[in-house]
A = this chain, B = another copy of it.
Amino acid sequence: MMTTIRPVTNADHQAVLDIVAPVFAAGETYALDRDMSLQQVADFWFMPRHQVFVATEADRLTGSFYLMANQGGGGAHVANCGFVTAADSQGKGVARAMCEYAMKEATRQGFRAMQFNHVVSTNDRAVRLWKSLGFEIVGTLPQAFNHPRLGFVDSYVMFRKLL
């Protein structure tokens, strides 16, 4: 099946929340409060400075990501993203397709690099995927993440140039 990426529309909001909320609640990959209400999840994912996109496969939503400037001022040329793949669409290249689209779109918008601030080191699938897409681990945050099953584990700062 083909993955298509496009900007989110209002009609997608509930389907996006259905994908994102369980990932935040699981608390294994995002450093966000696990007990956020659906409204808080929506306020975060759709915050004004997030440009939100969705991945679809035959009109079904399979993932979503946001693109934003990681910092303001002198740091505004570095993009940041957050990606979530639907539980039943793991392992099908959805995250790869989203990240490839994100890098292209960020480049088009003039960003010169992309940075992920907090990749949980035990999230092997993500670490491997970002590496395969040209990201490097440029920093290790010692025991910066309290994993619900594994306890305190390192997190990585991952970075790649876009130009």
Q: Which residues does A use to contact B, with CB under 8 Å?
A: 24, 27-28, 30-34, 71-78, 112-113, 115, 117-118, 120, 138-148, 155, 157, 159, 161
Most-contacted residue by chain B among A32, A73, A78, A155 (CB, 10 A): A73
- Contacts A138-B139, A139-B157 given; does A72 touch B32 at CB 8 Å: yes
The dominant DSSP class at the A interface is: strand
B77 pairs with A146, CB closer than 8 A = yes
Total copies of the chain? 2
Smallest CB separation, A6 vs chain B (Å): 29
Smallest CB separation, A142 vs chain B (Å): 7
A73 pairs with B113, CB closer than 8 A = no
A34 pairs with B73, CB closer than 8 A = yes
A147 pairs with B32, CB closer than 8 A = no
A159 pairs with B142, CB closer than 8 A = yes
Complex: A78 Cα to B143 Cα, angstroms? 9
B30, B71, B76, B112: the one within 8 Å of A73 (CB): B30
